[in-house]
């Protein structure tokens, strides 16, 4: 598969790079960013943390704002951040920020006009890891994390595919999308009116019924203006109690929905994933 290098920046002894490629799954060109820690220069293969961003974001938000490179370099962990949706002139879009380009919701759309391109679930689960593992010096050990819409995506992908991920974490995830305005709007458009399809992409419902577990960490700011109406972490907490799911859910006093919140706790998330990815340079 041909990929094009768009940019390259040295960071904490490693490299942050942007690439584009033609996605067969999405039927358009896609962009992703990767952070490669210093060890790969010595021929080491490293595990990968996949990061899924939220509404209106691209691959750039996390890589430039979260401050994750320092600890990723220490741990010997690669980070891969894809875009949040397919894009292009021939890709369906909507004038609102919470549907269409920049708002893929990490589902496989079944409804027109979305289904030809909006297959972010398959892209993140299959095509992107296959590309990363064929091109870069990484192992097949993967974990996944994300924020808001991306937190929803990370939890759903891990809960539905526990054999594929060593751990999962999320900041301010949309925990119960079948019961919130963002989720109802997106799922109706992408999946149609059959709510049985919606349940396949609801982290709370999946966690409630889980029989195979991936260690999970969720951080939520209690000053988040989306907390009550859109995010509903209490549904995730209730589901974990039913299935005895290994979920650590932290409510952080005074924190909102922004990247200031993510930057404040990203080190803890990276170290959490490092434990399950077998990173050898972990420090307390």
Q: What are phi and psi of 105, to 5 degrees?
A: 60, 10
Measure the CA–CA gap between 141 and 275, rounded to whole angstroms.
Answer: 12
CB atoms within 10 A of CB 254: 8
Q: Measure the CA angle with vertex 246, ends 242 and 252; round to 5°.
A: 100
What the block records as the tokens of 104 is 């893929």
**257 tagged catalytic:** yes
**One of 143, 145, 148, 175 is an active-site residue; which one?**
148
Q: Which residue has the tokens 């759903």?
A: 156
Measure the CA–CA gap between 154 and 132, rounded to whole angstroms.
Answer: 18
**One of 23, 224, 239, 273 is an active-site residue; which one?**
224
Q: Is 200 exposed, middle or buried (0-12, 13-18, 19+ CB in 10 A)?
A: middle
**194 tagged catalytic:** no
Q: What are phi and psi of 276, to 5 degrees?
A: -90, -20
Sign for the CA dihedral angle at 105, 259, 237, 125 comes to: positive
**224 tagged catalytic:** yes
Q: Which residue has the tokens 């993510």?
A: 262
Which is nearest to 52 in space by CA: 206, 204, 165?
A: 165
**One of 16, 117, 152, 257 is an active-site residue; which one?**
257
Measure the CA–CA gap between 70 and 77, rounded to whole angstroms.
Answer: 10
Consecutive H or E run containing 154:
helix 149-160
Strand-pairing partners, residue 18, are: 7, 33
What the block records as the tokens of 63 is 């890589």
Q: Could you list the active site residues?
A: 148, 224, 257
């Amino acid at each position: 598969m041909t990929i094009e290098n768009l940019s390259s920046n040295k960071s904490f002894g490693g490299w942050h790079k942007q690439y584009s490629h033609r996605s067969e799954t999405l039927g358009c060109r896609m962009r992703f960013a990767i952070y490669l820690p210093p060890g790969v220069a010595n021929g080491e293969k490293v595990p990968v943390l996949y990061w899924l961003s939220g509404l209106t974001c691209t691959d750039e938000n996390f890589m430039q704002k979260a401050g994750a490179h320092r600890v990723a370099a220490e741990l010997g962990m690669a980070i891969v951040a894809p875009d949040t949706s397919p894009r292009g002139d021939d890709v369906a879009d909507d004038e609102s920020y919470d549907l269409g380009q920049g708002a893929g919701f990490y589902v496989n759309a079944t409804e027109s006009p979305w289904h030809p391109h909006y297959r972010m679930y398959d892209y993140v689960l299959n095509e992107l890891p296959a590309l990363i593992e064929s091109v870069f010096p990484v192992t097949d050990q993967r974990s996944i994390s994300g924020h808001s819409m991306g937190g929803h995506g990370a939890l759903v992908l891990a809960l539905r595919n526990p054999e594929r991920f060593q751990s999962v974490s999320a900041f301010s995830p949309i925990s119960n999308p079948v019961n919130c305005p963002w989720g109802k709007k997106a799922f109706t458009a992408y999946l149609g009116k059959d709510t049985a399809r919606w349940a396949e992409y609801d982290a709370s419902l999946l966690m409630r019924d889980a029989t195979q577990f991936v260690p999970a960490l969720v951080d939520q700011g209690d000053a988040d203006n989306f907390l009550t109406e859109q995010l509903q972490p209490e549904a995730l907490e209730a589901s974990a109690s039913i299935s005895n799911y290994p979920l650590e859910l932290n409510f952080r006093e005074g924190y909102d929905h922004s990247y200031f919140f993510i930057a404040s706790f990203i080190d803890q998330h990276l170290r959490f994933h490092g434990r399950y990815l077998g990173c050898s340079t972990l420090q307390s």
